[in-house]
């Protein structure tokens, strides 16, 4: 009987495309899905040279895989993963490997690693980014956990991942659930960058009165230069998409209520839990929440009105300033996400190689951008950099753009244009680069009403004062 090298559970869009990608690289793959339609589609669509087989029987699926079995799960995060494992694990043999390639919560992965280990099975969490076309043509792949299992998968992962300068966009992300953690933070950064791009769009549209054709040209130019990235590129193309239901462009017909699946929220929750400041990611999460109050926003806009926005005198200069502000705020968002990874690596003993994280994010994933090359150089210089803003070369870029970010944020503020992401990136930068913050006063307040004590700046120790209450 022919044995298949890999198994794929879940033949939805991502699973199917990843399966074809693996098969394209000379590996044989068996696919399983409970949905007969998806199983049939797999057979119909596969190229003749691909060694693939679909089945709706889990027993059959498991029996056709070579051992140790290497089974990739591409099912929605949460309960579906547990229910697959419940049915699958009794059919497996010692040493088999199950790889969860969905956006699973890292603590769920830890629990599953322990559970499967008790059955002598390997379980790995592996982030995959790049959407449908990435899965098919080369995603960025973030595996973590069991090193022995990873070594077995490595040749396949390297062959199917995106390539930058001939190097595969996949690497070992660290111990335990590090693969899912890195993917979660990737998505947090994705939220922030998307928020910032919408703010640049808002300013160019409302203040500079650019239409979609002009916006297309601006984003095209940005994408041709230092801002070259996947998100700028797709934004450029969005401005060209005509609506097929009405006249005009589709972007103008899309309701301004954002959806979210949860990875951004997890990133923010995590940052709070382990004490890392990532305000631009937080604001991106909360801005999506705020956008959903559409009816209330309509009422509030009638109640409060808005000032008329005065068009900037020099449109070209304004576009350049907004572009620089976007570039720097984006850089600051990466800095926050990467700082979270640094702390998480210590906190959870993940041992995340930051240099490899930015290296494999250069291609295939949603947040790929040429900026990552600079972060890669920074981590080559100092693999233990706690924040990329502390790198000398990065600091030169920041210094060259900070005025634009300040001016853009100020312009938005003075014209009543919501600009939460840029303003928060700026605020983070200002606080992060301030030697003495006014938090001495805050500590005094805490000690005043709650005897919470404080430290002094002129001697060691912990102090408490009986503050004089002048009202009594
Ligand atoms: C990726 C994406 C992918 C997915 C997000 C979208 O890297 O390929 O991040 O994982 O598109 O989950 O998340 P929201 O639905 O929360 O925006």
- Whether 183 sits among the annotated catalytic residues: the reply is yes
- Whether 247 sits among the annotated catalytic residues: the reply is no
Percent of the chain with pLDDT over 70: 100
pLDDT at 256 over 80: yes
Alpha carbon 107 to its chain's center? 17
What is the tens place of the pLDDT at every residue in 89-126? 999 999 999 999 999 999 999 999 999 999 999 999 99
Relative to beta strand 6-9, strand 122-129 is unpaired
What is the reported pLDDT for 419? 97
Measured from CB, residues less than 6 Å from any atom of ligand 1 are 103, 129-131, 187, 190, 259-261, 263-264, 365-366
Q: What is the mean pLDDT of residues 274-290?
A: 98
Fold classification of 6-172 is Rossmann fold (3.40.50)
The mean pLDDT value of the chain amounts to: 97
pLDDT at 472 over 70: no
What is the tens place of the pLDDT at every residue in 313-372? 999 999 999 999 999 999 999 999 999 999 999 999 999 999 999 999 999 999 999 999
What is the tens place of the pLDDT at every residue in 143-198? 999 999 999 999 999 999 999 999 999 999 999 999 999 999 999 999 999 999 99
What is the tens place of the pLDDT at every residue in 435-453? 999 999 999 999 999 999 9
Please tell me the residue having the least CA distance from ligand 1 atom 2: 129
The answer, as to whether pTM is greater than 0.85, is yes
Q: Tokens in use for 235?
A: 């934004």
Neighbours of 206 (CB within 10 A): 16
Fold classification of 439-469 is 1.20.5
Please tell me the residue having the least CA distance from ligand 1 atom 10: 129
Distances from the Cα of 287 to the Cα of 13, 131, 224, 298, 328, angstroms: 28, 23, 29, 16, 20
**Dist. CA 187 → ligand 1 center (Å):** 6
pLDDT at 306 over 90: no
What is the reported pLDDT for 255? 97
> Among 59, 54, 29, which residue's Cα sits nearest to residue 43?
54
Please tell me the residue having the least CA distance from ligand 1 atom 6: 261
Neighbours of 381 (CB within 10 A): 12
What is the reported pLDDT for 51? 94
**Dist. CA 366 → ligand 1 center (Å):** 8
Distances from the Cα of 137 to the Cα of 46, 159, 255, angstroms: 15, 11, 31
Q: What is the mean pLDDT of residues 257-274?
A: 97
Q: Where are the domains of the chain?
A: 6-172, 183-432, 439-469
- Do the beta carbons of residue 67 and residue 95 sit within 8 Å? yes
**Dist. CA 285 → ligand 1 center (Å):** 13
Catalytic residue among 183, 359, 374, 401: 183
**Dist. CA 376 → ligand 1 center (Å):** 23
Catalytic residue among 175, 190, 199, 321: 190
What is the C-alpha to C-alpha distance for residues 104 and 144, in angstroms, rounded to an integer? 13
What is the tens place of the pLDDT at every residue in 53-85? 999 999 999 999 999 999 999 999 999 999 999
Class in CATH terms, 183-432: mainly alpha
């Amino acid at each position: 009987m022919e044995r298949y090298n890999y198994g794929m559970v879940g033949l939805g869009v991502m699973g199917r495309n990843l399966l074809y990608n693996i098969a394209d690289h000379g590996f044989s793959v068996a696919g399983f899905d409970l949905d007969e339609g998806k199983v049939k589609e797999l057979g119909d669509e596969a190229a003749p040279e691909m060694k693939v087989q679909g089945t709706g029987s889990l027993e059959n699926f498991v029996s056709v895989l070579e051992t140790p079995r290497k089974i990739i799960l591409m099912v929605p995060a949460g309960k579906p993963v547990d229910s697959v494992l419940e049915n699958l694990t009794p059919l497996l043999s010692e040493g088999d490997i199950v790889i969860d390639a969905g956006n699973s919560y890292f603590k769920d992965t830890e629990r599953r690693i322990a559970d499967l280990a008790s059955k002598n099975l390997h379980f790995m969490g592996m982030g995959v980014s790049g959407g449908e076309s990435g899965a098919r043509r080369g995603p960025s792949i973030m595996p973590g956990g069991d090193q022995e299992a990873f070594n077995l998968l490595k040749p396949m992962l390297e062959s199917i991942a995106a390539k930058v300068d001939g190097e595969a966009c996949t690497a070992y992300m660290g111990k335990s659930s590090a693969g899912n953690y890195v993917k979660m933070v990737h998505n947090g950064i994705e939220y922030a960058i998307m928020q910032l791009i919408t703010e640049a769009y808002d300013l160019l549209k409302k203040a500079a009165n650019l239409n979609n054709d002009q916006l297309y040209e601006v984003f095209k130019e940005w994408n041709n230069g230092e801002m070259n990235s996947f998100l700028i590129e797709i934004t450029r193309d969005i401005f060209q998409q005509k609506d097929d239901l009405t006249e005009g462009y589709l972007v103008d017909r899309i309701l301004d209520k954002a959806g979210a699946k949860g990875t951004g929220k997890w990133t923010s929750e995590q940052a709070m839990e382990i004490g890392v400041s990532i305000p631009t990611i937080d604001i991106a999460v909360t801005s999506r929440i705020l956008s959903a109050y559409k009816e209330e926003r309509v009422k509030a806009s009638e109640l409060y009105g808005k000032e008329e926005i005065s068009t900037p005198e020099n449109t070209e200069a304004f576009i350049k300033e907004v572009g620089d502000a976007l570039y720097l705020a984006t850089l600051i968002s990466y800095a926050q996400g990467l700082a979270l990874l640094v702390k998480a690596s210590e906190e959870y003993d993940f041992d995340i190689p930051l240099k490899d994280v930015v290296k494999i994010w250069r291609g295939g994933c949603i947040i790929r951008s040429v900026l990552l090359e600079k972060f890669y150089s920074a981590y080559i210089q100092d693999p233990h950099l706690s924040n990329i803003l502390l790198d000398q070369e990065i600091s030169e870029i920041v210094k060259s753009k900070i005025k634009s970010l300040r001016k853009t944020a100020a312009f938005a503020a003075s014209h009543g244009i919501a600009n939460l992401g840029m303003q928060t990136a700026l605020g983070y930068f200002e606080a992060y680069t301030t030697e003495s913050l006014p938090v001495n006063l805050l500590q005094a307040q805490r000690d005043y009403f709650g005897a919470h004590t404080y430290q002094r700046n002129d001697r060691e120790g912990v102090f408490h004062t009986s503050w004089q209450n002048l009202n009594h």
